[in-house]
Amino acid sequence: MSEIITHAELRRLMDDWIARGGEVIGPAAVKPDLVQYARLESAGLMLSGYIHPANSIKEFFFPRSEILYRYKFTGKKIELSDVVNDPVKPMLIMGARPCDASMLPILDRVFNWDYKDNFYDKRRDAATVVTMACTEHDDACFCTSVGCGPAAEQGSDALLIRLGEDAFEVRCLTGKGRALFQGKTQPGERTAEIPPGPPLKFDADFVRKFTRDNFDNPIWGELTLRCAGCAACAYTCPTCHCFDIVDEGNAYGGARVKNWDCCQFSMFTQHASGHNPRSAQGQRQRQRLSHKFAIYPDKFGEILCTGCGNCGRICPVGLGVLTVLEEISNATPSLESVEPV
Amino acid sequence: MIVDQLRELCARLLSEGTAQVVIGYGQAAPGKPAYPVFIRRAEDADQLVWNDQCMTNLAATLKRREVKALGKPAVIVKGCDERALIMLAKESQIVRANIYVIGVECNGAGRPAMAKCASCDVHVPRWTDTVIRETESQAAAVRTTPSSARYADLEAFMRKTPEARLAFWRAEFGRCVKCYACRQVCPLCYCERCIADKNRPCVIDTSATPKGNFAWHITRAFHLAARCAGCDECARACPAHIDLRLLNLALAAAAEDHFGWRAGMDPEAEPPAGAYSLKDKEDFIG
């Protein structure tokens, strides 16, 4: 027995959500050659047949730029005004890839392990996330190498799996998911098949050990020499979550703002003294991969990467997590041969 | 085959010591976009490829600290890339004699070919130490394309109403996440500290908001006016597919209209922003 929803019913569910004042986010053709997760004005704009959008759903929880509070100067007086309690609309994310939704438990920990980030949490509470299992993958996909997969359930409130041409099998995974699909599905005899994911491409445990033992290995600089030093990888990555806090305003007032930041910029670690502990791009690449495969796992027990492959697809010089890790794995076939420099 | 000649030349330059590094194209698999490789040993010359996926402008790698540390470079350029190289020399960023320039005839890069290729008039690089051409090629080194062909996309855009154009840029810049891929892959964006990174005082909002994004793209465009060599690498690198080519075309059209200038076309010509002439227009001074 399974629960089944037709495409028409699913579209109705999305349009109802919008009609009730909520927001629906889904993959859309925002330009003829560009698929991104975007706010949809109607369910009909949602796209199918994509492998992975060129952004991630991260920005709907952790926006690229967010005001923390505003300030105003009146003479010598400073007036602060809060925005944290501003209401957010109920948000339905429809058709996220499992590798995108998998970033939610990862970011939940980052934004709650110590300080509770109310900005992130209020969006998280307002969101219902419906994932769509992958039926296809491309060369850049590597979810299976990092403990994720084409029908992974992490972070998802309900999982849709394609069932023929006009229906999905619905697997409700949380109360939010059950509430969303309550009364919208039909029981069916058919059960959808979960398609195979991409083959294993590297051994994450090996990578973790390698990054720990090879801090000064010249291989980092060598493999990443072509890196242009932009943040296209990090900003399209579901899990990269570094940010900077800046004041933006003028003599009369302004706002304190939280903006995405990226370890691939030389400015990221530039000290006021002029010293830069990561002065070369290879060191910055090492940092990004170490954070994903050793630092975060040491702290939280999981890999800070869902294998979505966006970094590799989007990099202007064809250098993604997968590219570097495959090369490291090829260059050092066994751990015994890795000599710390 | 061009690639065989490239590999042979690369091996020779490295073994003779003419260059310490050959900056060329490598590729993970046929049909995939080629990327920069930095060959330092003659025996690695076979990593070089040459095909229609060699879109990257390798002149942009010369500004990078890690690349400068490799020693005297030999760099492979297409005609369009070479224009950036000429600009870098004009702006004293490179010393021509310290670089070995390998020109390769190109009849279009990308699949389908990049937009710039349709009106290309520099299929064969001219400012080189060596040029490698297709054996059968009869193409003239410099073909003249009418400026109307170069600016066709811009002219079509300019026929829209100002409101429609503003709405277009709002949508385009609305997708900007400030990853600065446009800056990082740009051969002419070589400032040691970009104005976008200055925070004492902060000149351009770092926020990826409409204000911060307009400020960034317009400032960058102005800074590249009459300097941008039109390689369109910024547009290609943008993960949000922002049509930066249109901005570049607007700059190029203004430079050509007002100063008869095309950046990097003539190694002897002085750039309008870098030279004084009695014929310079003064009518804008009120």
Last residue of a domain, one of B145, B168, B202: B145
Which residues pair with residue B22 across a beta bridge?
Answer: B39, B74
Can you list the alpha helix ranges (DSSP code H) found in chain A? 7-19, 98-101, 103-110, 118-126, 175-181, 204-213, 219-223, 232-235, 281-290, 296-300, 310-314, 321-331
Judged by CB atoms closer than 8 Å, whether chains meet at A246 and B199 is answered as: yes
Please indicate, yes or no, whether residues B139 and B155 belong to a single structural domain of this protein: no
Note whether residue B279 is domain-resident. no
Note whether residue B283 is domain-resident. no
Check residue A129 and give its pLDDT: 98
User: A112 vs chain B: nearest CA distance in angstroms?
Assistant: 24
Check residue B278 and give its pLDDT: 84
User: A11 vs chain B: nearest CA distance in angstroms?
Assistant: 26
User: B277 vs chain A: nearest CA distance in angstroms?
Assistant: 37
Judged by CB atoms closer than 8 Å, whether chains meet at B180 and A265 is answered as: yes
Please indicate, yes or no, whether residues B184 and B212 belong to a single structural domain of this protein: yes
Query: Across residues B86-95, what is the average pLDDT?
Result: 96
For A33, nearest residue in chain B (alpha carbons): B241
Query: Across residues B186-204, what is the average pLDDT?
Result: 91
Please indicate, yes or no, whether residues B53 and B140 belong to a single structural domain of this protein: yes
Check residue A193 and give its pLDDT: 86
Please indicate, yes or no, whether residues B104 and B197 belong to a single structural domain of this protein: no
Please indicate, yes or no, whether residues B181 and B239 belong to a single structural domain of this protein: yes
Q: Which residues of A touch B28 (CB under 8 A)?
A: 318, 323
Please indicate, yes or no, whether residues B136 and B182 belong to a single structural domain of this protein: no
One-letter amino acid for residue A10 of the chain:
L
Please indicate, yes or no, whether residues B131 and B256 belong to a single structural domain of this protein: no
Note whether residue B56 is domain-resident. yes
Cα(A165)–Cα(B144) distance, integer angstroms: 53
Judged by CB atoms closer than 8 Å, whether chains meet at B207 and A65 is answered as: yes
Judged by CB atoms closer than 8 Å, whether chains meet at A231 and B178 is answered as: yes
For A36, nearest residue in chain B (alpha carbons): B240
Note whether residue B280 is domain-resident. no
For A263, nearest residue in chain B (alpha carbons): B179
Check residue A335 and give its pLDDT: 47
Please indicate, yes or no, whether residues B120 and B157 belong to a single structural domain of this protein: no
DSSP assignment of B193-258: S-GGG-BTTB-S--S-SHHHHHHHHHHHHHHHTTT-----HHHHH-TT---HHHHHHHHHHHHHHH
Domain count, chain B: 2
Note whether B66 contacts A: Cβ–Cβ < 8 A: yes
Query: pLDDT by residue for chain A (341 residues), tens digit each?
Result: 799 999 999 999 999 999 999 999 999 999 999 999 999 999 888 888 899 999 999 999 999 999 999 999 999 999 999 998 888 999 999 999 999 999 999 999 999 999 999 999 999 999 999 999 999 999 999 999 999 999 999 999 999 999 988 999 999 999 999 999 999 999 988 888 888 999 999 999 999 999 999 999 999 999 999 999 999 999 999 999 999 999 999 889 999 999 999 999 999 999 999 999 999 999 999 999 999 999 999 999 999 999 999 999 999 999 999 999 999 998 875 544 444 44
Q: Which residues of A touch B60 (CB under 8 A)?
A: 228
| Domain residue limits at B33 | 2-145
Last residue of a domain, one of B145, B166, B189: B145
Q: Which residues of B148-180 are buried (b: 16+ CB within 10 A; e: fewer)?
A: eebbeebeebeeeeeeeeeeebeebbebbbbbb
Note whether residue B286 is domain-resident. no
Please indicate, yes or no, whether residues B141 and B154 belong to a single structural domain of this protein: no
For B33, nearest residue in chain A (alpha carbons): A318
Please indicate, yes or no, whether residues B169 and B267 belong to a single structural domain of this protein: yes
Note whether residue B156 is domain-resident. yes
Note whether residue B264 is domain-resident. yes
Note whether residue B281 is domain-resident. no
Picking from B37, B66, B240, the nearest residue to A221 by CB comes out as B66
Q: Which residues of B touch A201 (CB under 8 A)?
A: none
Last residue of a domain, one of B88, B119, B145: B145
Check residue B139 and give its pLDDT: 60
User: A309 vs chain B: nearest CA distance in angstroms?
Assistant: 13
Please indicate, yes or no, whether residues B105 and B26 belong to a single structural domain of this protein: yes
Please indicate, yes or no, whether residues B81 and B18 belong to a single structural domain of this protein: yes
